[in-house]
Chains A and B, each alone.
Chain A
Amino acid sequence: MLTCADCQRLLHERLDGATPDRAALEGHLAECPQCAPWHAAAGLLEQGLRLATPPAPPPALADRLVAAVLADRRRRARRRRFVAAAALAAGLLLAALALRLWPRPAGEPVDPPDVADVRPVRPAADAGGSPDPVGPPAPSLRDSVAEAGDAVASLTRKTADETMGPTALLRPMAPWPPLDDEDPLTPALEPPARSLREAGQGVSSGLEPVAASARRAIGLFLSEIPPMGSEAGSDEQRRN
């Protein structure tokens, strides 16, 4: 005997295309007022699905679809080519800019030196040593920094020499006037030595209160420290 749950299951099996046990199903449907309308409706649905024709596409749809797909392909291919060309152009532009703006140490020739001049000649470790296939090892960071420091120092020295050289040449041509000479310009233009001496006196007089205070403080501190001998004697007493 079928239950309503079995009947429900058979309903879906029937709509799935299976052929259920007709006799058992008919027996249950004849007696069950709950299940009978569902199976009647299922019969209608099957009938309707048989009658229904799937929507047919318009006759020219395939042509339109093919044309749209091919046009889309051409458009995307053009866009890919454009993007590739733009990327190449941008890369070349960046490379040119980088070469142009790359900082060059002063005095370095504009043209790249000959490779044979640049490559250091490494002495062979032994007499039968074969040439190094990899080439010279890359310099360490310490060497690079030292080399850069030397370059900066030599550049500074060179700039200083270039500045000081002509100035030194001017010195014998414009000697300082003697300090003791009576010169009408003396009151207006004080000799630098005198100015320096007065400046030194001003600084020492300004520091005098500080120095005196420091002297007094150190003296007070020293008076508080017991003599070395008494310290050693008290230690002996404490130990005994």
Chain B
Amino acid sequence: MPADEATLVRRCLRGDAEAVRQLVERFQAEVFGLCVRLLNNRHDAEDVTQEVFLRVFRSLRRWDSSRPLKPWVMGIAVNRCRTWMAQRARRPELVDYLHDTAAGPEADDAAELLREIQAALADLRPDYRAVFVLFHEQGQPYEDIARALRRPVGTIKTWLHRARLEILDRLRKRGMVPAGTTADDERDEKGKRGG
């Protein structure tokens, strides 16, 4: 795979338009998906995806061909999303509530579950969110996520565990866990209604 990637990158550097298309098509779904999850807005995600690919092709000469290309591309995507979020924090946020909320064919319970998971994900710290999406939605191994985010594998595991616990805690507290599973859960729910 790295040899194939190296060949593709060499063709891109020579100015082969077909190679550019192949590289874009290989990574665009994952880059766009990560951007949507991190930015919570499809329009922003499209803009940032374009920025990501411009950066990727501008700095393609700096890619280390002994390493896989995907973590490098995803690292650029995470960085661009961070920059975008920092810029957006200085202006009013337009959250796109309509994306991927599974409204339609799924049953009400499933749609509600997905909405809760999406909301919990949106409340996570951006680093935790990126790790969660890369691991659970895109199926990337710890090592690749560590390379993309330039953090040790141990840090990535810690962030992922915390992200999971925050989401699970939210699911518990929002009453998504079937009643009767626990005593303390009911206590929490009563306290919430009383408070």
Chain B's nearest CB lies how many Å from the CB of A181? Answer: 99
Q: With a CB–CB cut-off of 8 A, which chain B residues contact A55? A: 32-33, 36-37, 42, 45, 99-100
Q: Are A54 and B29 in contact (CB under 8 A)?
A: yes
B53, B106, B137, B185: the one within 8 Å of A37 (CB)? B185
**Could you tell me the distance between the alpha carbons of A172 and B161 in the complex, rounded to whole angstroms?**
114
Q: With a CB–CB cut-off of 8 A, which chain B residues contact A173? A: none
Q: Are A66 and B20 in contact (CB under 8 A)?
A: yes
CB of B122 closer than 8 Å to a CB of A: no
**Could you tell me the distance between the alpha carbons of A195 and B33 in the complex, rounded to whole angstroms?**
107
How many chain A residues have a CB neighbour from B under 8 Å? Answer: 34
Q: Are A44 and B177 in contact (CB under 8 A)?
A: yes
CB of B1 closer than 8 Å to a CB of A: no
- Given known contacts A40-B181, A70-B20, A61 and B28 CB-to-CB distance under 8 angstroms: yes
> How many A-B pairs fall under 8 Å by CB?
117
Q: Are A64 and B50 in contact (CB under 8 A)?
A: yes
B49, B161, B185: the one within 8 Å of A57 (CB)? B49
Q: Are A44 and B164 in contact (CB under 8 A)?
A: no
B53, B100, B168: the one within 8 Å of A52 (CB)? B100
CB of B85 closer than 8 Å to a CB of A: no
Q: Are A69 and B137 in contact (CB under 8 A)?
A: no
How many chain B residues have a CB neighbour from A under 8 Å? Answer: 48
Chain A's nearest CB lies how many Å from the CB of B173? Answer: 10
Q: Could you say which of B68-76, B86-94, B109-117, B144-152 contacts chain A?
A: B109-117
Q: With a CB–CB cut-off of 8 A, which chain B residues contact A61? A: 28, 32, 46, 49
Q: Are B184 and A56 in contact (CB under 8 A)?
A: no
B15, B50, B113, B172: the one within 8 Å of A38 (CB)? B172
CB of A15 closer than 8 Å to a CB of B: yes
A54-B33, A61-B28, A62-B21 are known; give 6 further A-B pairs, CB within 8 A.
Answer: A38-B168, A40-B182, A48-B114, A48-B117, A53-B102, A57-B32
Binding site for A on B (CB under 8 A): 15, 17, 20-21, 24-25, 28-29, 32-33, 36-37, 42, 45-46, 49-50, 53-54, 57-58, 99-100, 102, 106, 110, 113-114, 116-117, 136-138, 161, 164, 167-169, 171-172, 176-178, 181-185
